[in-house]
Structure formats: C-alpha cells, structure tokens
Structure 1
Amino acid sequence: MVEIFQNIRKIYMFSKPCEELANHVEFYSQSILNHSVQHPKNQFSSVKMFPSWTPTFYINLGSPYYIDLKHTRYHVKDDKDVLILRNGDVTRHKLPTDNIFTVKFNPGGLEAVLNINQVFVIDKIIDLNHILPWQLIQKIKQPISFEERVESIQSYLLEMYGKVSNKDHYLKIVNHCIGEYQASGMQLNTSKVAEKLFITSKSINRYFNRVIGVPPKNYFSILRGRIALTAFINDRASFVPTDYGYYDANHFRKDVVNFTGQRVTKHQL
C-alpha cells in the first residue's frame, strides 16, 4: 500500500483534535478491527509513507511490526511505542492483526504542545516512554474505546500545552509563512512569502530550519506535492496543475517523481 496513491484511510478511524489544539495536532487515529475492513487490511503487507515532517506517535495495541527508516529495518515489539518524525520515506510492514493508535502532529506541533523540538527527532525512532508518562501509555493500551483513548491523550496534551509558557516566536512565524503559502494557492516562492510577512529570506530560512528542520523551499515543495497529488488521485478529471502552482502537467508529473520516487502513470486506477 502506498500513501496517497492508495486509500490508507479506509483501514483506520479518525478523530479531529479540539479547537485549542487544532493548530498543532492534525488528527488521532486507530486501526479498524471489524470484519468489514479485514479484506483491505489483508490486501496490503506494508504501508509506504512519504515525507511530511509531521511528528507522529505510534502506540501499539496489537502485534509486533517492522518499520523501514533510512534503509534500516527496525523491529517494534508489541509492548513498544514510538515517535517518528517522517522526514523521509517510512515503510511500516503490516499484519492483519495490526492495531495502532496514532497521534499525528502538524510540523512544529510537538514543540508547541510538549516543548520538544522536532529537529532532534530527524532520522530517529524514539521510545515513546521518553516522551509520555508511562501511566498514560498504559491507560491507552487498556481495552477501552477509541473515543476514550482520544480523551485520555488529549486531556494530557491540553494540560501540557497550558504549561508551555514560552510560546515560541519562531514557530508562530513559520505557521504564518505556511498559511501565507497555502492561501496563495502555493504560487509564491520563499522570497515572496518572506516579503508578505516583512522578513528577510535569510530569516525565514533560519526559522524553518530551527522549527521544522528543513529549509522553507524544501518544505513548501513537499507540502505542494502532497496536496496536489491527493487532489489528483481524488478527482483526476477536474485536476488542473496550475491551481497548485505548477507550470503545466509535465511539471506536476516530474514533481511527483521527485517527491515519491514513483510515476503517476504507475498507479492508474
């Protein structure tokens, strides 16, 4: 199974964060265990995920599994819970008995909520016991509902978010830059985004490297690629590359290859 090209979401249930955390947490999710999705789950032996620079918690409620990160394969035991940044391609090898509870942050969200700079997570798999209280993880692992798990982790994140007294100036500027880029239909380059916010290109580069761990040009390219490819897969007939800042269809196709390493034509439905 390949993220975006194929619908990974059909084997998970999702919950949006509360309003206070909405700028920093993208979603909570958990594997669907009922028989209606058993065939799709059995159909895929792995899930390949493309770069997003989104810190993500994986709390294991089921079987052991393997993760490929930077050409290295890691064995994640059934009692092991991890944090991954997803700054590069990540492949999680699946089993039909998989049951994962996930918290996916927006870029910089880990720092905003838990005061942990995601730059230090680049190319690493972090034991989640170093991030979250042991008691909280054990509570989430109990045989409770998805909604109860969301409530438990969200209550903790809200509590910690309220304790982060130093709301990072750099993070606010980075979020404003991302918002400005998206509002322009992804038409602006880094210099134009900097001009809109009355800062220099040198400053915007420093802020992005400080908060996300990658220059704005690279991050904007990934963001555009993910949004455009998702739109293309969802409705190919009405997809217009120039709506996403591309010069033409060839520009879009080349960018998809650069972003995913795969051709759009390889995944024709």
Structure 2
Amino acid sequence: MVTGASSGIGTAIARALAAHGVPLVLTARRTERLEALAAELRARVEVQAVTADLADPGAVAALVEGIETRGVRVRMLVNNAGYGVPGRFDAVDWTRHAAFLQVMVTAVCELTWRLLPSIRAFPDGRILNVASFAGLMPGSRGQTLYGAAKAFMIRFSESLAQENADRDLRVTALCPGFTRSEFHDVTGTRAMMDRLPAWAWLDADAVARAGLDALEQGRVIAIPGWRYRLLHGLTRHLSDQRRLALMARNASKIRRSD
C-alpha cells in the first residue's frame, strides 16, 4: 500500500514497485490523478486505487476495512502522504494545523497499527516511512510543524524497527532533502524554492530507489544524495546553539514566516 500515491515521491515509489511486479493498493485524495496512475501501472501489475482523505479521522479505518473486505493482505506499507503548511504557527487557523497533524502523525500511526498484524504475518514484511531531511535538522520558523512531524516519523520508525527485530520485518525512514515535485507548488513557495542552487535538488525517482534499496538492506535511516549525507555528518557535530543559529540565518531563504 502506498499513501499519497498521486504525485511526487509516492508516484515514483509506486512505479518502482510495479516495475518489480509488486501488486499495489494506491490511495490519495485526488481520484482523477489516482485513477490515471492506476491505469498506467495495471499494464504491469494488479492495482487497486482507493480514494481517501487522511485528514478525515475515520478515513484510515474505512480504508483498511475496505481492503480487508476484498481479501487483500498488505505485505508492505509506504506511509508517504504529506504536505506543508507555510507561515507562522500563530498566523494559521488551528483547523489547518489539526488536519495537518491528522495526516502527518495520527494517520501514519493508525494505518501502521491497523496493518501491522498483516505485515508481520509475512516472512518479508516491510514498512517505508517517507520522512524528510528536515526531521534530522533543528526546527526553523515557518512550516512550524513540518520538521517536528517528520522527526516524529523518524523516531517512530526506529522504535518499530527495534520492536520487530525478531522477524524479518524491516522498517526504514526515508529522509530526502528538497525533491522536485508538486510539494512547493501546493504550499505556494515555488518562487522562493526556485532560488535554491541546482545541487540542492533531488530527483523523485532517485529518492524512491534509495528508499526501497535501504529498506531491502535493512537500514533504518536513509538519506538520499551524498551532499545531504555530508551535510548531516557535518552539522550533527555542532552544538545545538550553533545548529539553531544556522537554521535561523537560512530559514528565510526556504520558509515563509509571515
């Protein structure tokens, strides 16, 4: 199962899995985009497309009940659905923050919890949580909850990996940096992001391959791109004060804080 499959990294992961003959359950909010992807991939594998808005607190239970009714057993879960809410924390309506947390934290946990018995029943169960490099870095102003939600996903993945170490159930948190997709168009920050240097951008297909390779290799944390791995290695040895100062100085280049 791949959530948020209608665009970006989710689409790339779905295509990569289909190329290896893996049957798919794809879910996303946008029915037309989802059905178009499903039609494309059905030439290779069996695909079920289920429209679901994970901001709805009842969506996960309905999604799982629906596939179980059809006799579908999930071996691999890809928690990919996500987005950002730009601007200052107190300048955004709480209803938007609540919906964000529902999608990015609660739905991830509930879907994993509901599908874990099925995944554990397979000798090669897999969980890929699409986190972000932002979850490995200090917080910054603008999109206040995004890095925090991704940091949660990373720690959640680490705990799941340890709890299921007695089986060949592998869990990976994929932590890409800036990836070319619709993400920044949706958040309204495309013009700002286009000022970043070319080296900062990753390709969605390459990110998908890196995540799936790390999952099969049993690596819990996957950081695509050697530049991001180098940046992570360098900054992790700085003091918290210096790391926060660096983020404060550079946040205005990549975050709306109005």
Global fold match (TM > 0.5): no
More helix by share: 2
More strand by share: 1
Per chain length, whose mean CA-contact separation is higher, i.e. which structure has more relative contact order (CA < 8 Å, sep 6+)? 2
Q: How high is the TM-score relative to the length of structure 2?
A: 0.27
Which structure's CA Rg is the greater one? 1
